[in-house]
Structure 1
Amino acid sequence: MNKMTPERTMLADSVPQKDGRISVPIDLLVLGVRLVEGLSVVLAGGVALYLWAQRIPEVEFQTYTRAIIGGGLIFALFAEMLGSYDIDAHFSLRRAWQRVMMAWGMAAAFMVIMGFLLKASEDFSRGWALTWFASATVMLLGTRAAMTLWMRRMKRQGVFNSRVAIFGAAAQGERMARYIRGNQRLTISLVGFFDDRQDGRVPMVVDGLPLLGTSDDLIACIRQGHVDQVIVALPWSAEARIQQLVAKFAMTPVRIRLAPDLASFAFLHRPLVLLGDVPVLTLFERPISGMDAVLKRVEDWALTLGILFFVWPVMLLAAIAIKLDTPGPVFFRQPREGFNNQPFRVWKFRSMTHDECEVDGIRQATRNDKRVTRVGAVLRRTSIDELPQLFNVLTGDMSLVGPRPHAASTRAGGRLFNDVVATYAARHKVKPGITGWAQVCGWRGETDTEDKLVKRLEHDLHYIENWSIGFDLYILVRTVFAVMVPRNAF
């Protein structure tokens, strides 16, 4: 290494020194949380056994003890699988409680099911089991709350923080520093910047952090124990320079990381996966794909057949009423845009006079629309006119729950939907639905203003990004109440 100049020595001396505070690896405390929570489950089982000791034969204590230890191990397994000990769960009490209680609930359910399958459930006291579940719940919530608050306090004191230097004081390094300082979950203390360009091409202060010297100065700081980690923030196009620096820093006993290229900062929240041995960013996933798509299809078939079993008399009465009210067919098929913008024809009960049913240049129904028949008004108000779309679900063109299908010619505020919102087509990444998140939240009916369309699209995209079977069932339950108290349906 070249001998350091007085200027470089002064810069290196400005690096924060060790302040005598003990640095604790966060992984060590996380291990402690695992042990404490596992023991809490076991201890809660022991407490329950003590409380019910007079009602449990002493000869069965050993069986109960094995069940308690097994319960602790099963809880530990589920807690690990659900991410209860991930870093983000140690500084967010809400997230921690959610994961811990889900793990304990799943562990309890697993033990009940196994007891039933093995015909062993009759061997255990139900009072003891309920006491164990309740006391373990209290102990887990209390333990995690105490540990989370304690770890938050230690984090604020910088106990977990590693001292990080950024090599590269240009725009890429500045953006990296801004991201680190703005992310409260990171356990990092930024030391400052280092850069070999000392001819005025980089500023002496970047985002409030000093420029401390060159790569030689950085190595000297590492040797003196002032830096724990180095982030190289140079453009990825400077491949030769990056390789030289990495080879140089590789001789030091610290962690070396490569910051994202400038373009990658736009996709920081996207997951990084391995394509073979090559890391790639996943910009967008196909929503509701793989096993999720299979589950949603099974959900659609099972629930649709169940609904048809109960509503076929209503559909029959609706068909008779339409025939008696006005001349024309009972059903009306209208073109819509479905999954991947593919056209299909949606089934509906005819609610307008036969000569006013539009296939092209479709106009949305408005309040007191003269095209709507007397029976049609009732059908639309109660959403019975949508029931034939259950056949669209069975044929695979639609789902029970999803963004409502719109005609390509539909307008909002006089403009086509695609012209109002450039990302409108994103709602076609999944199959359209008979009901949806936007509809149960009140964004149904006529889109006479552009703002109504924007709100509807926001809700549709929220559904696509957060889909789950539970979310679908929640929307279906809310749909029942929305039908009972209709709004914006005419």
Structure 2
Amino acid sequence: MNFVASRVEVEGAPAEGSPATIGVAPAAQPPLRDKAAQRAQLYAIYLVIDLVAITVGVGAATAIRFGFTSTEWAPDVLTLLLPLHVLLALNIGAFQLDTLTSTTFSMRKGVTAFLGALIGAVIILFLLKASGEYSRLAFLLLVFTGGVAVAFGRAATRLLARRLLGDRVDTSVLLIDGAHPPSVSADIYIHAAGQGLKPSLTDPEALDRLGRALRGADRVIVACPAERRLAWASTLKGIGIIAEILAPELDAVGAIGTGRLGDRATMVVGRGPLGTRDRTIKRVFDLVLVILSSPLALAICGIVAIAVKLDTRGPVLFTQTRVGEGNRQFRMHKFRSMRIERLDGDGRVSTLRDDDRVTRVGRFIRATSLDELPQLWNVLTGEMSIVGPRPHALGSTAESHLFWEIDERYWQRHAAKPGLTGLAQVRGHRGATETRGALVDRIQSDLEYVVDWSIWRDMRILVSTLRVLFHRNAY
């Protein structure tokens, strides 16, 4: 493993006590992703050490109760304990930033997950009417041996995390835009003008550049003149990470809290909706669903592809640029449902009922949502999720106005990864967005989803989607 931490010193970076006035080229930015990768590697180490510690604890309890040569009891108990511990540890937040910075927090979470898994294992054995076959004394011993082993393993791993990442395990970016920055320490410094970065809700390309420049960062702090704070506040709300503005006073910029950078006050204007634990749970949920559904999905895709090819000339797939997480653009795939000469690459013309651009096969696959199946590849590559706000084309309009011209909150919906289905869709907001009101309703649902995300809500939305697959607005 390659662990390379922490503060990035680049050409022109400020020395201690001096202002930051430099530009950082894209080539200088891998440390942003490196630090996130280091944390992911450390979380994996925590998980492995937990599982090893539990195995050691079970082995110790077995040896004390049955002798060192005994093999009874342990395999069955481990079969239940290990997966239960992983599930509980993920659910209670045993792998998050605080785990890397606090030994007490890490030990408490690890031992809590272990004890919860042990209780779960006992309950399962009881329900299977098999608990009488196992030694109660061995279970009592395991409470001690397993708990001590997990706590010790967590403490040791915390020392490794501190050695590799130091006391600051998140990645902070100081974005300088026409202001004299304070003498503070950040992991990386970016001069906005030098990188073509600007606050704008009317320029998708600028938003894309900003999203890419901040990919891998956990926190961005903007130093800018007072007259540009509101613009930056609005722009950063959809970036998907903690976003703050350096300011000596609170201004009417929609701040959601306050923070600090060194001895300077900041206003928090945006906060990523999902922490590391939640992102991991959501990603595992996506991958499990894609893998489980892939045999059936591939068979259906093959049939649809043949039907599209036989129906009209042209490619089977239609690929279009959409706006994704952090306002970063990506290429989304669909089965082609329109005639090749009538394709609308920018998405400026919404598909209407009885639209003559739609082919015979296209009408069927759009009505049944089969045209969306290739987006499972976008889910597999991490550009999309199973559940999330639906991604829109850059040229999408309602009443001849671009979406972001109608409601500036539009960009905030991209704080979450786009999805195959979403809260707006299960509420009936499908099909063409022809009016301002229809767009506002969708944005409101998307923002509600971003703020109140939970894996249980994703499951409910997925089940509810089955009820709206055949919807009168699906054309």
Higher RCO (Cα < 8 Å, 6 or more apart):
2
Larger radius of gyration: 1
Give the alignment's TM-score, normalised by structure 2: 0.47
